[in-house]
Amino acid sequence: MSYFDAASAAPLHPVARQALSASLDEGWADPARLHREGRRARLLLDAAREAAAEAVGCRPDELVFTPSGTHAVHAGVAGALAGRRRAGRHLIVSAVEHSSVLHAAETHEADGGSVTRVAVDRSGAVDPSAYAAALREDTALACLQSANHEVGTEQPVAAVAENCRAAGVPLLVDAAQSLGWGRVAGDWSLLAASAHKWGGPPGVGLLVVRKGVRFAPQGPSDDRESGRAPGFENLPAIVAAVASLRAVRAEAAEEAARLRELTDRIRARVPAVVPDVEVVGDPVRRLPGIVTFSCLYVDGETLLHELDRAGFSVSSGSSCTSSTLIPSHVLKAMGVLSEGNVRVSLPPGTPAEDVERFLRVLPDAVAAVRERLGAPAAARTAPESGADLVVDATGRRCPIPVIELAKVIGDVPVGGTVRVLSDDEAARLDIPAWCEMRGQEYVGEEPADRGTAYVVRRVS
């Protein structure tokens, strides 16, 4: 089985496994105690903190260990907002942040705060000037990921941090996807990360709060980890997490170049071997191991199962891979095709032979899914003189509405329109994306008795 889902969780690094085993024997005691076992545990914790701080590029007393990356984000956002409450209650985030950041923003809104969500371009990147324009006198905090978890696009953190610093606003960086590859550039104020993204054990996060940043930990007070992560430290997991971070950093330059060549190979060859595919994300400013593409007329969940049977573990941002009809917020914000979405994220050490086998298997897998989905025809009304053709795809999830649009677009003359009736939220994204890929004009959407009418004009 070839594991191509490292952006979700990287396999445990061998160094992490060794460190975990060793520290189970040495680091089980309470590091807050003064007896011999406690002092030994404290030495391990202090050494881990110093090594993690060196990898991040901060002072050891600025870094605490948390029970997860999500906890680090939530604690960082809440603590920074509370610490700067006198400045105001305005929060800035990008539209493609990880759900942990967006959920923290929603909680802030529910508590009476205000949030500005900065849009991204079609590659998934923010414009630093858009962050600068969003800054206000009452802005308490800005958040920006270092790189996107779904499409791999790197963000201009240094430029955004410079704008925020000039305005006196702290910037919190979610570095979960990038920290294993190197330090985050720029004069940022807070940083959060998660060990299972770089080959450490799950259940360990990092939160860094620079000296001088106003910060008020929320929740009941605790003496551990500067009061920012209450509870007994999972010392064996912390030691293993830091050991793996140092190990992957030592290999990062060479491995990044190798994985970048493999993902470039996928980016170039997938559109050549699979028709009707859109490769998404920035082609240059991106993480080494992530490549994402979307296939027209394909159900993402079915395609993932097909690839799983062929021996490949991949993931997807398609709405059809979850219990909701809402497409991935990242793909939606980018305005790209969401149906049939596949994210390939290669862990360090991935053999080139596995990538070649994936490229051989993918065309048949996509063709099989398309054949299965192409059989049913949606009901449609015959166009009257001067009238539109109407395709009723209500009650059917994407990609069915797009498939039926593709089937009938040739039934109207150039200049004529097709109205696709759909109650699937994903159609709002996928029908315009189909038009762009197919050179047709997307007119817009209109209310309908059943769902929404998406209007497409044939231009070729």
Residue 22 to residue 238: CA distance in whole angstroms? 12
- The residue with tokens 């920290």 is 179
Q: Which amino acid is residue 168, in one-letter code?
A: G
SS3 34: coil
SS3 262: helix
Bridge partners of residue 90, in order along the sequence: 114, 139
Residue 170 to residue 288: CA distance in whole angstroms? 28
Residue 376 to residue 58: CA distance in whole angstroms? 59
By DSSP bridging, strand 205-209 and strand 139-145 are unpaired
Q: Which of 143, 320, 398, 435 is catalytic?
A: 320
- The answer to whether residue 320 is catalytic is yes
Backbone angles phi, psi at 440, to 5 degrees: -105, 165
Report residue 393 as tokens. 């795809």
Report residue 334 as tokens. 């980018």
Shortest CA distance to 124 belongs to which of 340, 287, 297, 298?
287
Residue 164 to residue 2: CA distance in whole angstroms? 42
Residue 65 to residue 193: CA distance in whole angstroms? 10
Active site (catalytic) residues? 320
